[in-house]
Amino acid sequence: MDFLCEYSIAQGYDYKFALEAKPNEPRGDIYMPTTGAMLGFIATLKHEAMVGVNPEVAHETIAGLNFYHAVAQALEAGKLFHIDLNGQKPGRFDQDLRFGQEDAKNAFFLVRMLENYGYKGSLHFDAHPLRTASDDADILGFAKGCMRSYLILKEKARIFDADPVVQELLAQLNPTCTESEALLGEYTPERAAAIQSKQFDVDGITAQALPYEQLDQRLFDILMGVQD
Ligand SMILES: [Mn+2]
């Protein structure tokens, strides 16, 4: 990668490179099998600013990992140069299914994060139609379906974020605690001492309701279009 980056600089190309991790296929084991491993590798390069990642839904899902967590880490590192969208069952061969075909909830969280974060890069579908698609109409239906599903999930994300029930549940799950916030932030000896001497009201904490079940069901209802 160092050689390639310097060759690109020497030619005046102004290129950037996006590394796409994959855990297996065509080999049983592939070096740097995940987006996280790629991010670790990039940090060791001479021209690391020129190099980012191109995470793919299918590749991270084959490994049984949470795709949107991998994308979140890439965004935080400023390394999401490109993204490959498709669908995939965990633990199978590289299926490259239509975007949203397999796991609508994971696809929802991915689209919501990309949209709310303001990701402005390419939205690339690295997918192919089912083997049974032998006519133009079905193949076109596949290609349009990738884009249609993305846009549907974008609209669902808007509905979810604007939903009063969701907002109330999130406020209950993430209450503002000025005392805790004062203890967080950069390390200082005073903060460390304050954390060590803090008394926690364990009974009070464990008595608080954590309505994650209700929040998840509300998301399901919104995705299915049956919310009140
Ligand atoms: Mn790909």
Residue for token pair 């600013």: 49
Q: What is the pLDDT of residues 97-137, one digit of tens each?
A: 999 999 999 999 999 999 999 999 999 999 999 999 999 99
Question: What is the span of the domain harbouring residue 21?
Answer: 2-162
One domain for residues 181 and 80 = no
Q: Helices 212-224 and 104-117 meet at what angle, rounded to 10?
A: 90
Number of domains in the chain: 2
Residue 81 CA, ligand 1 centroid: distance in Å: 13
Both 105 and 142 in one domain: the answer is yes
111 & 138 share domain = yes
pLDDT at 178: 86
Q: Coil, helix or strand for 80?
A: strand
Query: Is 215 found in the same domain as 119?
Result: no
Are 211 and 129 in a shared domain? no
Using the mean position of ligand 1's atoms as its centre, give its distance from the Cα of residue 103 in Å: 18
pTM of the predicted structure, to 2 decimals? 0.94
Q: Are residues 88 and 125 in the same domain?
A: yes
Residues 16 and 123 in one domain: yes
Q: Which chain residues have CB less than 5 Å from ligand 1, an ion?
A: 56, 84, 126
Residues 59 and 115 in one domain: yes
Q: How confident is the model at residue 138 (pLDDT cuts 50, 70, 90)?
A: very high
Same domain for 212 and 141: no
Same structural domain for residues 126 and 210? no
Segment 50-66 mean pLDDT? 97
Say whether both 156 and 215 belong to one domain. no
Which two structure tokens, joined as six digits, stand for 175?
């209450």
Which tokens hold the place of 188? Answer: 């200082």
Tens digits of residue pLDDT in 171-184: 999 988 888 888 88
60, 87 Cβ separation under 8 angstroms: no
Q: Looking at the structure, do residues 181 and 120 belong to the same domain, yes or no?
A: no
Give me ligand 1 centre to Cα 146, in Å.
Answer: 15
